Structure 1
């Protein structure tokens, strides 16, 4: 099975290399790894994230561990360019790298360079050679905000290699009891149900979100519908709402902000009523005249929700929805597409009538109409969304207390 794993790793690299000739992200994936130079450290604390979403998820633990260990260098790695390119200059790390391709040689060279005292992986990342090298060197590896489902390969009859990989971790901090039970069924007991550190991150953000004067001016005295991390299928639906609710303001923050993607979005919206965020600096008066604001930069979305009344979260017509909790923390009812089954918080919000899944234009218009017209229904949805977020904070403290107790950093 290890042979097949090696083949799959090199097959993946070859596929990315082929894609790099026409796909900018793939090119960054290849070139970023080829050009990076590792700095040799005496010791470090290593955090690895798949991409930007996992970075924000694990950020509360990263912040606390960095604050409590100021004499130790912090190394952050990303698998995806979308995480690395946005956070490569983060003040929360001394060094930010792409995770090298998972080979035995690369794992040894990487760990020889950064010399971690501890490693923390967030949610889904499992790389055999990196994990095995950590294990052999007796460097504790913690998996935080981990979540498991019966359909995953670890729990299949043919998943022995991947089950063995889990044995290389020092401890799992999982999001729910289901995950703990699944791990116990395959004889893994080094597990703590901590919850999801994203709740800590989004709640802190909601309590300390700084003002955005331009958004305040755009909002004025009108209600605001915010569509975050949208993809084209989401935007097709939102564009129809713009025409229906002319007395509402709309803010749309696409998941991808390349010139091509922004232009495609703009073509769906009424030209005379739409402005891009990048345009308002040159002419602030545009804000008063426009109904739709397209966010064509990165880093605003988590603060935008403080100005919203309703939120739509993109990705649910593709591989899965993006972060619903950022909006819920501000008390916004959240709407999303049909692909949400892998996201516990989305299922929880639906049960609380604070989250709503739509499958087409008609279902979106129906739920938006109810939330707008039924004040009591809206008020309960808003309250439930905010309370759900607040009540599920605390994962960071559970994780940090465990690590402190076991004294791995002293």
Structure 2
């Protein structure tokens, strides 16, 4: 009965999405992407055994003189699913570990959200990147018949009952990794039997913390491993590959630098109020979560300090004459820099002395591990950080602090700013936390090796 109601709801949601798409751009991307999925998979299927090398580059099709048995054993098909871009980054170390350990494997990557697909549709470590077809029985059967996965890997969450049930019936191993569970979820309620049954379709779950492990065992789910969060492995990778940015270095110079990462307007109300009243030497870089030139201009009017925009500086630098028209004086006299480009934030954290991570006031806290790996005190808003284990851990350890408003931020920031020993202590806590808790990818890959049976 619940399965019927659930499936009916999916059909209704599809119809509503098509109507909403008429006037909502993001929904329109989702509807259009759903329509393209079958073409993308079909085109891939016509490539007749195309394979990739260890670094992800395409190779010619496997020739006929090779044994079909050898081909099957050396080329499993992995299906990875990520809800959105954040989950993709969390799962990326495992995807790339599969590519390295199984060089000729086929890797299918699906997304639910446009923010994931539109950013990673050209990801070169996957053979196919597409939207996940809606979770209806006909879509599920068609998708699995076409893809023929040897294993399905879900990142953090996304429990699609029809997909998981079909995987179980077809004896296709499915695992969930970097998962985190909370007592208020339906799985652990007396009336949550439908969702508990969905959970039991998974062959193995790798969780981030002991509480999640305890909750699963409380409902007699035994195939669980305490592995940690693969996102830590990803930020370690990023830190080792971090790029240098001369303009950022020039802007910072020898002045303490606060970076505000993935900031929403609620976060910036606090930051601007603080900045307008802070009288000590300080440079601030703001990386908005959503880049809107008109909004950045309005923000510039809200601050009393001189501000600059990164893309304009970069264009000016590119147009320099041989004698140099770029003014270091403009950088020296400015206290605020708006980072209006994509793809730089995770690398420029290396220059920070302090970081404020956005999302804590309204949307849900963004990635605290990207700055933590470089070692600096971290601040964020409240109350929307409770779902993030790393944030809870850093608060408990003392590497991070949460603030309710501008007055509170001014107080706690000044304390850390003025006490170099305290600043270093908090920085060491954050850096050590990442290093000590990295390694979840190896645990996931051990389960993959154990569960993966070529079909």
Q: 1:14 & 1:307 partners in 2: Cα distance? A: 48
Say whether 1:320 aligns with 2:364. yes
| Contact 2:376–2:430 (Cα < 8 Å) also in 1 | yes
CA deviation map 1:355-405 (0-9, x unaligned): 111111111111111110122221111111111111101111111123224
Matching residue of 1:386: 431
- Partner SS for 2:108: strand
Say whether 1:330 aligns with 2:374. yes
- Partner SS for 1:225: strand
Shift of 1:18: 4.1
Q: 2:297 & 2:137 partners in 1: Cα distance? A: 44
Matching residue of 2:283: 249
* Segment of structure 1 superposing worse, 30-39 or 147-156: 30-39
Matching residue of 1:38: 40
- Partner SS for 1:281: helix
What are the within-5 Å matches in structure 2 for residues 294-309 of structure 1?
A: 294-309=338-353
| Contact 2:151–2:452 (Cα < 8 Å) also in 1 | no
Matching residue of 2:98: 65
Matching residue of 1:122: 155
Q: 1:237 & 1:22 partners in 2: Cα distance? A: 33
Shift of 1:152: 0.6
| Contact 1:280–1:287 (Cα < 8 Å) also in 2 | no
- Partner SS for 1:252: strand
* TM-score relative to the length of structure 2: 0.85
- Partner SS for 1:133: helix
| Contact 1:236–1:268 (Cα < 8 Å) also in 2 | no
Shift of 1:14: 4.1
CA deviation map 1:190-242 (0-9, x unaligned): 11111111111112222331212222222222111111111110011111233
CA deviation map 1:149-201 (0-9, x unaligned): 10011111221111000111111011111111111111110111111111111
Q: 1:268 & 1:138 partners in 2: Cα distance? A: 59
CA deviation map 1:96-146 (0-9, x unaligned): 101111111111111222221111110011111111222222111110101
Q: 1:23 & 1:366 partners in 2: Cα distance? A: 42
CA deviation map 1:287-315 (0-9, x unaligned): 45532221222211111110101111111
- Partner SS for 1:38: helix
Gaps of at least 5 residues in structure 2 are 50-75, 318-325
Shift of 1:282: 1.8
Query: How many residues are aligned here?
Result: 409
* Segment of structure 1 superposing worse, 28-37 or 120-129: 28-37
What are the within-5 Å matches in structure 2 for residues 40-189 of structure 1?
A: 40=42, 41=45, 44-189=77-222
Match of 2:387 among 326, 335, 342: 342
- Partner SS for 1:280: helix
* RMSD of equivalent CA atoms: 1.9
What are the within-5 Å matches in structure 2 for residues 231-380 of structure 1?
A: 231-245=264-278, 247-259=281-293, 261-270=295-304, 273-284=306-317, 285=326, 287-338=331-382, 339-380=384-425
Shift of 1:266: 4.0
Distance 1:185 1:300, change over 3 A: same
Matching residue of 1:396: 441
Gaps of at least 5 residues in structure 1 are none
Distance 1:21 1:289, change over 3 A: farther
Q: 2:294 & 2:172 partners in 1: Cα distance? A: 45
